[in-house]
Structure 1
Amino acid sequence: MEVGIGLPISAPELLPDWARSADAGPFTTLGLLDRLVYDNPEPLVALSVLAGATSRIRLQTEVLLAPLREPVLLAKQAATLDRISGGRLVLGLGVGGREDDHEAAGTDLHSRGRLMDRQMSVMRRIWSGAAYSETVGPIGPRPHRANGPEVLFGGFQPAALARVARFGDGFLAAAPPSWVGPLIDTVRRSWDEAGRSGTPRIVAQANAALGPQPVVDDARAAMAAYYRFTGDRADQMVAGMLTTPAAIRHTIAQYADLGVDEVMLYCYGRDPGQVERIAEAL
């Protein structure tokens, strides 16, 4: 089982410390959340900085809200980061459910899924090296992988789950072990029905905070603020945060039983010392 670290968003200046520590440890991926109308670092810019601070660990958006971005420029940005990092970019994508994000970006909340499908067709064409159109040639640079960076999709609705087989390489399962199983089964079934070879990569997500009580309190407060728009669900998510080594190991084992390939442990608390504590817990 691979284990990655989801980075806190409340202290961008500390992210290189987190990244270097994770790169030196047992972790496989660095993840970074995305919002537009929020006090968080833009993930592609931030991960570009972290690519230079690390040498081996994957760099993952989880999830980048693709409909908020113009697809040609997004394809070029992603290909650039993937190429410079030696193929370490994992482009985790979602449609975004915040009305204010879409209002600020000038996009239609109600057609965001269809927009993402069109975006993926454009980006896959650009990454392949084909001409953009009859009058516009290829758009570089070519990504490290021939067909573009690895793409994972997050979501819960049937259309989002089906998108994995249509356009992606895997599924971001941001749900607890108690109810994520049917989502994973649906993704795998859609994958087989689409005639895709191999299996989709499954990446699960859990929220964690390890350290003295102020570290845990900081994480809970930051997470509650980030998910306040969800109402009562924010309280439930905060209550489910993993705050002991035993809880982290147990949750990872549960995901392993479901055939998950990697677990991302998201840390909302700012203390970089959590990287070493989580490494010891593993």
Structure 2
Amino acid sequence: MTLGLAVPFTDPAALLAWARRADAGPFGRIGVPDRIVYDNPEPMVMLAAMAAATERIRVQSEVVLAPLRDPVLLAKQSATLDRLSGGRFSLGLAVGARQDDFLAVGADHASRGRRMDEQLAIMRRVWAGEPVVAGTGPVGPAPLRAGGPELLFGGFAPAALARVARWGSGYVCPVPPGAAQGLFELVRRQWKDAGRAGEPLLVGQVNVALGPEPTVARARESLLRYYAFAPELAAQSVATMATTAGAIRDAVAAYRDAGAHEVMLSCWSDDLGQIGRLADLLS
């Protein structure tokens, strides 16, 4: 099983140190989250900097909220990142849930799922070198990976899962290991029914904080702040965050038993020393 690292909400310049440290191993990819109305770096810009600062590790949006963005521009950014990283870029996408993000950019929240399906068709045309508007030329650069970068989808609604087989390379699961197995099985079945070769990449996610009490306390504060709009979810996220060596190992093992190929360890504290502790713990 491959392990990835999702970075915390902290100063963008500091995240370059996270990328370089993760690039030294044993992590397979590093993920950057997306929000609009929040104090976080814009993920595509941040991932470009990380790609330039690393040599081995995959860089991934964890996940970009596609309906908030213009599809042609997003496709162009993604193709540029694919080339810049030497094919190490993975585009994780989801529809998003928080209404404030949609209000901030003037996007319609209610139609976000339908808009995303329309966006995906446009992005595929861009990556295939086809004009997106009659009378115009193609939008370059062409992605390094034929058909576009590795494309992963997050979510748990039926429509979100169906996009994996129709458009994607894999699935990023946002629920605990105990609830993941059924979703993984559905994604696999839809993949097979669609006549896709091989199998989808299945990725689990675990909120972690490993270190002294101040590290864990900052992670709890960050989770509570991030989910302040939903107090019950915030409390549940804090209660289930893995903060000991045993809890982290158990969560990774549970995802492996559920069928995951990879697990992303989502760090909520800005303590850079966590990278070394997690690497020692799981290597």
Tell me the TM-score normalized by structure 2: 0.98
Matched, 1:117 2:117: yes
Identity %: 55
Aligned residues: 282
Matched, 1:151 2:118: no
Quick one: distance in 2 between partners of 1:57 and 1:227? 29
Quick one: distance in 2 between partners of 1:112 and 1:140? 26
Check the 8 A contact 2:153/2:163 in 1, yes or no: yes
SS in 2 for 1:229: coil
User: What runs of 5+ residues in structure 2 fail to find an aligned partner?
Assistant: none
Quick one: distance in 1 between partners of 2:89 and 2:228? 29
User: What runs of 5+ residues in structure 1 fail to find an aligned partner?
Assistant: none
Matched, 1:213 2:210: no
Specify the alignment match of 2:3 in structure 1: 3
SS in 2 for 1:97: coil
Specify the alignment match of 2:58 in structure 1: 58
Check the 8 A contact 1:10/1:222 in 2, yes or no: no
Which aligned pairs between 1:82-97 and structure 2 lie closer than 5 A? 82-97=82-97
Specify the alignment match of 2:178 in structure 1: 178
1:11 deviates by 2.6
SS in 2 for 1:243: coil
Check the 8 A contact 1:63/1:154 in 2, yes or no: yes
Q: Provide Cα deviations, 1:166-199, integer angstroms capped at 9, x if missing partner.
A: 1111100011111111111111111111111111
SS in 1 for 2:146: coil
Check the 8 A contact 1:246/1:281 in 2, yes or no: no
Specify the alignment match of 1:128 in structure 2: 128
SS in 2 for 1:207: strand
Runs of 4+ in 1 over 6 A off after TM superposition: none
Matched, 1:274 2:274: yes
1:231 deviates by 2.4
Check the 8 A contact 1:208/1:241 in 2, yes or no: yes
Amino acid at match of 1:18: W
Give the root-mean-square deviation of aligned CA atoms: 0.9
Check the 8 A contact 1:151/1:169 in 2, yes or no: yes
Quick one: distance in 1 between partners of 2:259 and 2:177? 11
Amino acid at match of 1:54: T
Quick one: distance in 2 between partners of 1:191 and 1:170? 10
Quick one: distance in 2 between partners of 1:275 and 1:207? 14
Q: Provide Cα deviations, 1:180-222, integer angstroms capped at 9, x if missing partner.
A: 1111111111111111111110011001011110001011101
Quick one: distance in 2 between partners of 1:242 and 1:269? 12
1:107 deviates by 1.0
Q: Provide Cα deviations, 1:43-92, integer angstroms capped at 9, x if missing partner.
A: 00011111111101000111100000000011000100111110111100
Check the 8 A contact 2:184/2:202 in 1, yes or no: yes
Q: Provide Cα deviations, 1:120-156, integer angstroms capped at 9, x if missing partner.
A: 0000111111222331111100111011001100111
Specify the alignment match of 2:203 in structure 1: 203
Specify the alignment match of 1:261 in structure 2: 261
Quick one: distance in 1 between partners of 2:42 and 2:101? 13
